Amino acid sequence: MVTKIAAGAICGVDCRIVNVEADVSSGLPQIEMVGKLSPEVREAEKRVRSALKNSGIALPPKHITINIAPADLPKAGTAYDLPIAVALLSASGMIPEEYVGNTLIAGELSLDGKIRAVKGVLPMVLEAEKEGISKILIPRENLSEASVCKEVKAVGVGELAEVTEYLLLPPDKQDKMIEPGECKVWQENENAIEDDFADIKGMAQVKRAMKIAASGFHNMLMIGPPGAGKTMAARRLPGILPPISMEESLEVSRIYSVAGLLCDGSDLVRTRPFIAPHHTSTMQALAGGGRIPVPGLISRAHKGVLFLDEAVHFSSASLEVLRQPMEDRKLLIARSHANYEFPAEFMLVAAMNPCPCGNYPDPSKCSCTNEQVRRYAGKLSGPLLDRIDICVETGRMNVEEVVNGDKAVKGESSEMMRKEVMRAREMQKRRFAGTALQFNAQMGVKEIERFIPLDKEEKKFMEQSYVRMNLSPRSYHRILKVARTIADMDESERVERKHLMEAVCYRGIEERYRR
């Protein structure tokens, strides 16, 4: 007798429904497993055998074949334990097959029959919904992330014995035994701001630059001495981006689910991610790697902020990895058997010291030569700098500002800043309606010409600033894009001279240090 149980195979951040087939026939007692399985799936046999025994279930002494179809799709992970066990029970007639119909099962078994959390439950639920599967049986720890669809009932289980008991009940009585997880209603704006910009005293220029960066989704670079508050400011940046929407949250949670970050019973990702990889992170850690790749740190910053502290100390290979996602908003990882795609639409915030000792341009503290300063600034590669629109210096905070900054002169709060950002986003939405663009930062040369027409006066200003500021040709378009965002914040349809002037203030590092 052959039975089929639906299970989910994770491919990148997507899931494909696969069938775990079990066949019990007479012959030498043994369990045989096929279907392009990686070692951990193959090992399931031992776990299933022990778990069944320790749950008080005796397997019939028969020849059992397990196949996971389609057989040419590579399968990895431990989520197949439970579906294999259920398929066995069903094939040997211990569970009526019609009771497990239209149910997707996932879970890892431990030898004593307990069911452990698995990775990638969220993509499975979403795929199940698409495929019209009405129920998903998953480990209890994963219940929270699984309860997102109205159409798919999520049932959390803790032990194999519990599963058998549950599946022996007719479907209408099953719900009474274990109630399916309650589908949560999504609430906009529910994410409170934890780190508030109001706590930062001073740093007005950085706050202004961050507001602009957030409005136009521009990547930015902060240059400042150690202890100037670069990290503190960057940490507050996700808080001024527009609140994460349901769709965005699901996209981000998918990645986190596959990476195994939601296994501990945590909910969907409801705030914009802030990822700060250490500068020793390898290329694989950033991009994602493995025979069957898992999402790396870059993908985990999807829809949020990727903060590279001490950016010049990252290996050049690690930094070059950033180029593709910054351009395409996704990462492609090729393996011989398949290509994997991970979404990676993030805002890059890089931070670096101005010179090796960190104190430039303070002549009383900095002992670096001009040449050293220039060389240090030149460590970031041109192609990367090309994608960074805003560059700002963060001076060390004044002692007075730290000590005497009383409550009355508290700086702008994140909430106020976010409002301004939302307004500018609204302008962009209207302008880019009917195009593939969302933000000013995404404009190419053609779009810049179309959306940022300059009058004579503004053109003249750009020419003058070219000569005066020693600008490089490639910074031209970056300045225009930033000026467009500043104009959006001003709710001005036209880019005026003052917008351009401010944008020039955030010109690239190559103009400021390499002369």
Partner 1 sequence: METKVYQFWFGDIAAIWPADAVKLAAMYGSAKAIYEASDDDIRRFAALPEAMYRELSVSKKRPLPTDRQKNMELQGIEAVCCEDEAYPRKLADLQDKPYVLYYKGALPDEKTKCVAIIGARNCSDYGRRSADYFGRELAHFNISILSGMAVGIDGLAQTACLKGGGVSYGVLGSGVDVIYPRGNMELYKRLIGKGGVISEYAPGTAAHSLHFPRRNRIISGMADLVLVIEAREKSGTFITVEAALEQGRDVYAVPGRIEDELSTGCNRLIAAGAGMAGCAEDILYALGIKDRPVKRGGGSRGKKLRDQRDSFSGGSRPGIYKALMEGAKSAEALLHILGKREVEIQDLLLELMQLEMEGLIVCRGGNYSIVYS
Chain contacts with partner 1 (rule: CB under 8 A): 202-205, 207-208, 223-224, 354, 360-364, 366-367, 369-371, 373-374, 393-395, 398, 400-401, 409, 411-412, 464-465, 468-469, 498, 501-502, 504-505, 512-513
| Minimum CB–partner distance for residue 214 and partner 1 (Å) | 15
Q: What's at 229, amino acid-wise?
A: G
Closest distance of CB 496 from partner 1, Å: 11
Q: Which amino acid is at 377?
A: A
- DSSP one-letter code for 243: P
Closest residue by Cα to residue 482 from 161, 202, 213, 228: 213
Which is closer to partner 1, CB of 374 or CB of 423? 374
Structure tokens at 448: 């810049």
Spell 231-244 as b/e; 16+ CB within 10 A means b: ebbbbbbbbbbebb
Nearest approach, Cβ of residue 201 and partner 1 (Å)? 9
For residue 497, the minimal CB distance to partner 1 (Å) is 9
User: And the tokens for 445?
Assistant: 């040369």
Structure tokens at 114: 């307990």
Q: How many CB atoms lie within 10 A of CB 151?
A: 12
Nearest CB to partner 1, comparing residues 423 and 512: 512
Is 101 or 378 the residue whose CB approaches partner 1 more closely?
378
Q: Would you say 151 and 131 are in contact if contact means Cβ atoms under 8 Å apart?
A: no
For CA atoms 222, 226, 229, 230, give the dihedral sign: positive
Instruction: Give the whole-angstrom CA distance, residue 515 versus residue 503.
Output: 20
Compare residues 130 and 365 and give the one whose CB is closer to partner 1. Answer: 365
CB of 512 to partner 1, least distance (A): 7
Q: Which is nearer to partner 1, 64 or 504 (CB)?
A: 504
Structure tokens at 193: 């701001």
Q: Report CA 355 to chain centroid distance, whole Å.
A: 32
Q: Which residue, among 464, 441, 480, has the nearest Cα to 346 in the 3D structure? A: 441
Residue with Cβ nearer partner 1 (4 or 207): 207
Smallest distance from partner 1 to CB 205, Å: 5
Q: How far is the CB of 429 from partner 1 (least distance, A)?
A: 23
Quote the least distance from Cβ 489 to partner 1, whole Å: 9
Distance CA 74, CA 301 (A): 27
* Helix extents (H) in 32-186: 39-42, 44-54, 81-91, 121-131, 143-146, 160-167, 171-177
Q: What is d(CA 461, CA 471) in angstroms, rounded to the nearest whole number?
A: 13
CB of 278 or CB of 365, closer to partner 1: 365
User: Which residue's CB is nearer to partner 1, number 72 or number 371?
Assistant: 371
